Amino acid sequence: MKKIIGKAVFILVFIMTCCVSYGALSVSAAEDFNDMGNRAISDVNKVWMLQFRAPVDISSLSNNVSMQDLTDGGYVNVTVSAGDNENLAKVNPPSGGYKMSHKYKLTIWKNTKSKKGENLPKSVVLNFSLNSKDNNEYTTSANVLVAQAIPEIKKITISTNLPSVSKYKIYGNKNFFNIGDTCASLVAGNTVEVYLYDNKGNLLGTSILDVDSTQSNINIKVTLAN
């Protein structure tokens, strides 16, 4: 049992526009990798931060990182550098940055070693796409019900096609709500800002919602977080 626990120490946490723990990842036993899902970003010079649960061998990591341009089909050169402590590392963007509207796949191969020589249990894969911060393909859909007795009280239900979003907040309301659930908020104006988050509370995008009247299936654009 002690041996098993020791091997489980060297695992990877991604710090991105989100932070996902190893235990939350979906595992494909056939392909022997952990799927981090998809992300939409707007920063062509995005630096991906990697956090390990044990000190990482930067040289080993540098030899076990690949970045594929899924749009072109080729690979791009990225560099790895140390973070602020021994458990952190950075995957730096290619020279000239990522290409807008392209899709990429970042792989951290399981041969990556800790400073104690331990391997990752599984390779880790993250897919992401580059989109304009404001002019992108993602939308938020909402239902708004305005209370007749007190019009400032709005019942709002949010859904979105932005990848990895699981929760939302309404400006002025400190609570998180699951996508698809309805929240009741006190909104003084005719519009309100909606904040979209992943399951770790990392902001992925924002939208401006018209709450002046009762409406269904309102489509509004998403502004991507940096």
Question: Three-state secondary structure along 7-68?
Answer: HCCCCEEEECCCEECHHHCEEECCCCEEEEEEEEECCCCCCEEEEECCCECHHHHHCCEEEE
Q: What is the CA radius of gyration of the chain?
A: 20
C-alpha to C-alpha distance for 140 and 133, rounded to whole angstroms: 15
pLDDT score of 7: 44
pLDDT tens-place values along the chain, 226 residues long: 444 434 445 666 555 433 333 333 333 344 577 888 889 999 999 999 998 888 999 999 999 999 999 999 999 999 999 989 999 999 999 999 999 999 999 999 999 999 999 888 889 999 999 999 988 889 999 999 999 999 999 999 999 999 999 999 999 999 999 999 999 999 989 999 999 999 888 899 999 999 999 999 999 999 998 7
C-alpha to C-alpha distance for 173 and 131, rounded to whole angstroms: 29
pLDDT score of 17: 31
Q: What is the CATH number of domain 139-217?
A: 2.60.40
Architecture of domain 11-130: Sandwich (2.60)
pLDDT score of 20: 30
The predicted model scores a pTM of 0.73
Per-domain residue ranges of the chain: 11-130, 139-217
Asked whether this chain's domains 11-130 and 139-217 adopt the same fold, the reply is yes
pLDDT score of 113: 92
pLDDT score of 33: 79
